[in-house]
Amino acid sequence: MKNNKILAVVSAAVLAAGVLAGCGSSKTADTAASSAAAATSAATEADVAATAAATEAAKDGAGEKITVAASVTPHAEILAKAKEILAGQGYDLEVKEFEDYVQPNNVVESGEFDANYFQHVNYLNSFNEENGTHLTIAENGKIHYEPFGIYGGTKKSLDEVADGDAIAVPNDTTNEARALLLLQQEGLIKLKDGAGITATVNDIAENPHNLKIVEIEAAQVSKQLPDVAYAVINGNYAMQAGLSVEKDALAVESADGDAIQQYVNIIAVKEGNESLPKIKALTDVLHSDEIKQFINDTYKGSVVPYEGEQ
């Protein structure tokens, strides 16, 4: 079709030259012939430019779809911003929001979705071990971390802690350990030596205030605030509950603590898909300056771009 277009342009120019020559004006005919040559060159250049543009589009997404399962806050919100950037590269980012911590992994394992964005490294490892799944971190897939915080329920300061106070914590393996490490950081409990990121309530060696640790599904912890003295809440669920790390948390994980390094949030994919071009395009955008600025401006410390080793 492109060649036909060029032929049509050239034919029209040559015909015009012939008509003018028939009128007895050789100078005009020469001019027309020159115009025909120019038209041919312009058409050729246009064709080459179109081909180059098509080739460039092919390098990028060229309309290729990327499907990602995500938690609502902040993951889906960050992806909404990334969608705009990826569209300019030719990719169509399609995001589905989930409210639990199980289905996002199941739909990636099944191949229904390309990736998910909702969990940290330790949860992924634990999920694989417990469910026999084959999920892994995408190339350059460590994106951000969300500092855990202790939030006040019936008590508004950690100075008010009293014997027998109830503290709600997430009940899944990795998030519970993270919550207990934060309670230890603040001197409320002491864990057995070596408990670390696998700690459970059974690893509490010292509990000077006889605190009652109430284990609850992660998404429900914030809803227990009216009924407990304190609650240790995941960053995304705290935001969903309208809580701010900066303004509302009574204590926050230390930025240089081991927990931060262990609990960075990731883009997870099925094994073998870590370096697919569309996955790399996604993770590259999520590490872009534009996305980092969006995260910092939007979440004001509740979500922090990850700058460490991949």
- DSSP states along 114-134: SEEEEEEHHHHHHHHHHHT--
pLDDT value for 308: 85
Q: Could you report the per-residue pLDDT of 127-158, keeping only the tens digit for each?
A: 999 999 999 999 999 999 988 999 999 999 99
Residue with tokens 């109430």, as numbered in its chain:
214
* CB-based contact 63:92 (threshold 8 Å): yes
Is pLDDT of 297 > 80? yes
Report the range of poorest mean pLDDT among 52-56, 64-68, 303-307: 52-56
Based on the fold, state whether residues 28 and 120 are members of the same structural domain: no
* CB-based contact 269:74 (threshold 8 Å): no
Residues 103-135 as b or e (16 or more Cβ within 10 Å = b): bbbbbbbeeebbbbbbbbbbbbbbbbeeeebeb
Rounded distance between C-alpha atoms, residue 92 and residue 85, angstroms: 10
Cβ atoms within 10 Å, residue 49:
10
Q: How many domains does the chain have?
A: 3
Q: Is residue 236 part of a domain?
A: yes
Based on the fold, state whether residues 176 and 100 are members of the same structural domain: no
293 forms beta bridges with: none
Is pLDDT of 310 > 50? yes
pLDDT value for 49: 47
Is pLDDT of 48 > 50? no
Based on the fold, state whether residues 174 and 94 are members of the same structural domain: no
- Nearest residue to 120 (alpha-carbon basis) of 292, 261, 302, 308: 261
Residue 215, SS3? strand
Domain that holds residue 283: 64-146+263-305
Based on the fold, state whether residues 73 and 130 are members of the same structural domain: yes
Based on the fold, state whether residues 253 and 282 are members of the same structural domain: no
pLDDT value for 57: 43
Based on the fold, state whether residues 55 and 72 are members of the same structural domain: no
| Strand ranges, E, within the chain | 64-71, 91-98, 115-120, 135-145, 149-152, 166-170, 190-191, 204-206, 212-216, 230-233, 249-252, 265-270, 304-305
pTM for this predicted structure: 0.66
Helix or strand run (H / E) with residue 5: helix 2-22
Residue with tokens 């503290």, as numbered in its chain:
167
Based on the fold, state whether residues 123 and 198 are members of the same structural domain: no
pLDDT value for 24: 38
